[in-house]
Amino acid sequence: METKTNKLTTPFRFRDINSQTLLTNEVGDYGFFRQDIIHKIFANQLTKEEEIRLDGLSIDFDENKSWKLLSLARRAKSKLNLTNQKLAYIMVVPTLRCDLSCVYCQVSRAPVTAQGFDWDKDTLKHFGKYLDNLETQKIQIEFQGGEVTLRPDIIKEIIEICESKFSEAQFVICTNLLTINKEIEEIYQKDNVVISTSIDGSEDVMVANRTNSSEKSAKFFENLEHVNQKYGHNKVSALPTITEKMLDEPKNLVDFYISLGFDSIFLRPVNYMGFARKNFRELSKDIDRWNDFYRQSIEYIIDVNKDSYFEEYYFSILLKNVVQIHNTGYVDFRSPNFYLQDYCVIDFDGKIYPSDEARMLSRTNHVDLSLGELDGSIDRNKLKDLNWHSMNQTESDCLHCTYMPFCGIDMIDDMSRYNRIDSPKLDTWFCRRNMMIFDLIFEKIANKDLKWLDVFLKWIYRKPNPPKTYEIFYDSAEI
C-alpha cells in the first residue's frame, strides 16, 4: 500500500464478529484481531505481534518474501483451474411424467398418462454418442424426473450403456419410492446403485406436501422400511423440502429423521421455482423467517450431538469451506461454478442444461437456460456468458465480502427470485442465508465455544469421536 514502501499488501476483507474484527485473505486464511486493526493498518501503527500475524496470513508482508505472493496466487488459481474438472456427473431425466403432484413441484411434471415426455430410442443412441466424447473413466449418473421408476427399462439401458463405456459407473435413483416391483428391484440390488428419496416428515406432512393420500404415504414408509431392511441404511438417502407449515416446529423434522435411523439431514427450503413459485411466493421472500427456523434447528442439532452423531448437510458444507475442505460437489454452492465443466443435466427431450434449477426455470418458460441438445452442439457463447457470472471472485459485491473465499454463487436462484443476476447481493436470499450461517460459525469460533467446536470437529472429520484439533480454527497466536 502507499503508506509503506517495503511491504506488499494483498486483497483482504474484514467484518466485526462480537467484539473482534475478522480478517480474511484472498483464499480464506483468517484471523481475529482487535477492532482497531483496520485503522492501525492504514495508519502504520501495527504492533510487532500484529505484523507477524498479518505476515502469517499473507495479507501484509515484506517485499523480499515475494514467494508468499506466488503461494497465494497458486492457491487462488487452483480453485479456478479448469483442467482439473472433467464432465463426470450427469443428471438424466428419462421421463418428466410423475404419479404424484407435490405442492412444491419444481419442474412442472407431466401427468402420468401424458405422451411425448420420455426418452426414446434416438435419445438413448445420442446419449451413448455423447458419452463417447467425455474424457473421464469414471461416471456418475443421477436419474431424476418426473418419477424415474415409471421407466425402469430406460434406467436399465442407461446403466448398461455406462457400464460398457466406463471403468467405473455409479448411479443414483431419485424416486418417490411409491412403486417397487421385480424390475425395479433388479436395479436396486446392484451394488453401484443408491436410492435418493424425499421425506418431508411424518405421514400427515407427506400427505399435505406430496402424496395427497394417506394410503400412498403409508405405502411410501412401507417401501422405505423394505429397502432399508433388504439393502441396509446406506442404500437410501433422503432429503426434505421445508414448507411454511414446518417452520414453527424446528425440532420435529430433526427428531423424525433420527427416528428413521438417518445420521444426517439437509434442511432445504422450498425452491422458488416451478409450482413453488405460485404456492410459496411469500415464504420464498421471507428469508428472516427461514433463518430463524434454521438457526433454531442447528441449535437443537448441536444439542442432539451431545450423545450421538447427527449432521446438517448444508451447514457442514459451509463449515468445511471455512477450514479449507472445499466443496466441489454441491453445484448450488460453489465458486467458481463453471457450467458444463464437471456436471450437466439432460432433460426428457434431450436438451442439455447447466443445472437442475436451470432446467426448472426453462421448463416454466422463465428463461431459456438450455445450452444445447444431445444430437446438436453446445451454445458456447451462451455458456461463456453464464460462466462469466459464476465466480464470486469477480462479483462487485462479493469481492468486498469477508466470506467470499468460503462462499458460493448461485445466479440461477437470483434469476428465479429477482429476474436478474445483478441485484445487490446483500438483498438476495442466497446472500442473507449464507451470511447468517457464516456469522454463526465465526461467532462460535471467536468465542471458543467448545460445545459447538466439538460438533464442528465431528462434522469435519465425519466421526462421532474426532481428535480435539481445535487449532484448525485458529492461528497460533489465538490458541
Partner 1 sequence: MNSITIKIPDSFKSYIDASIVRASYLFPELKIHISEEPSSVDISGLNESMDAENIKKEFFNILYRERIYSETLTIRRTIYGD
Helical H runs in 305-355?
313-322
The closest alpha carbon to 92, from 272, 347, 314, belongs to: 347
Among positions 36, 73, 189, 324, the unique one binding partner 1 when judged by CB under 8 A: 73
Q: Near partner 1 by CB under 8 A, which window of 7-15, 198-206, 330-338, 342-350?
A: 7-15
Smallest gap from residue 60 Cβ to partner 1 (A) = 10
State the cell numbers at 148. Answer: 424415474
Smallest gap from residue 66 Cβ to partner 1 (A) = 10
Between residue 390 and residue 429, which ones bind partner 1 under the rule CB under 8 A? 393, 399-400, 424, 426
Smallest gap from residue 14 Cβ to partner 1 (A) = 7
Nearer to partner 1, 15 or 320 (CB): 15
Q: How many CA atoms lie within 13 A of 460 on its CB side?
A: 22
CB under 8 Å to 226, separation ≥6 — which residues? 180
Q: How far lies 60's CA from each of 52, 72, 446, in Å?
A: 9, 12, 22
Nearer to partner 1, 165 or 389 (CB): 389
- Is residue 66 within 8 A of residue 206, CB to CB? The reply is no
Nearer to partner 1, 26 or 142 (CB): 26
82 binds partner 1 (CB under 8 A): no
- Is residue 235 within 8 A of residue 195, CB to CB? The reply is yes
Among positions 8, 88, 96, 317, the unique one binding partner 1 when judged by CB under 8 A: 8
Smallest gap from residue 76 Cβ to partner 1 (A) = 5
335 binds partner 1 (CB under 8 A): no
Q: Near partner 1 by CB under 8 A, which window of 70-78, 199-207, 325-333, 437-445?
A: 70-78
13 binds partner 1 (CB under 8 A): yes
Nearer to partner 1, 42 or 461 (CB): 42
Among positions 1, 82, 367, 378, the unique one binding partner 1 when judged by CB under 8 A: 1
Between residue 168 and residue 197, which ones bind partner 1 under the rule CB under 8 A? none
Smallest gap from residue 71 Cβ to partner 1 (A) = 10
What is the contact mask toward partner 1 in residues 38 to 67, using x (rule: CB under 8 A)? x---x-------------------------
Nearer to partner 1, 7 or 216 (CB): 7
Smallest gap from residue 7 Cβ to partner 1 (A) = 11
76 binds partner 1 (CB under 8 A): yes
Torsion (CA) 62, 64, 70, 76 in degrees, nearest 10: 0
Smallest gap from residue 473 Cβ to partner 1 (A) = 24
What is the contact mask toward partner 1 in residues 18 to 37, using x (rule: CB under 8 A)? --------x-----------
d(CA 469, CA 14): 25
Smallest gap from residue 85 Cβ to partner 1 (A) = 18
- Is residue 199 within 8 A of residue 241, CB to CB? The reply is no
Nearer to partner 1, 87 or 399 (CB): 399
What is the contact mask toward partner 1 in residues 456 to 475, using x (rule: CB under 8 A)? --------------------
223 binds partner 1 (CB under 8 A): no
Give counts: helices (H), strands (E), the chain: 18, 15
For the stretch 308-312, contacts whose Cβ atoms lie closer than 8 Å and that sit 24 or more positions apart, written own/partner, are 308/258, 308/263, 308/464, 309/263, 309/458, 309/463, 309/464, 310/254, 310/258, 310/263, 310/264, 310/265, 311/263, 311/264, 311/265, 311/458, 311/459, 311/462, 312/264, 312/265, 312/266, 312/267
Residue with cell 426428457: 348
CB atoms within 10 A of CB 275: 19
77 binds partner 1 (CB under 8 A): yes
State the cell numbers at 418. Answer: 429477482
Q: How far apart are the first and last CA of the chain?
A: 30
Give the phi and the psi of residue 62 in degrees, each rounded to 5.
Answer: -65, 145
State the cell numbers at 335. Answer: 465458486
Nearer to partner 1, 69 or 472 (CB): 69
Residue with cell 449464507: 434
Residue count, binding to partner 1 (CB under 8 A): 24
Binding residues for partner 1, rule: CB under 8 A, are 1-3, 8-14, 26, 38, 42, 69, 72-73, 76-77, 80, 393, 399-400, 424, 426
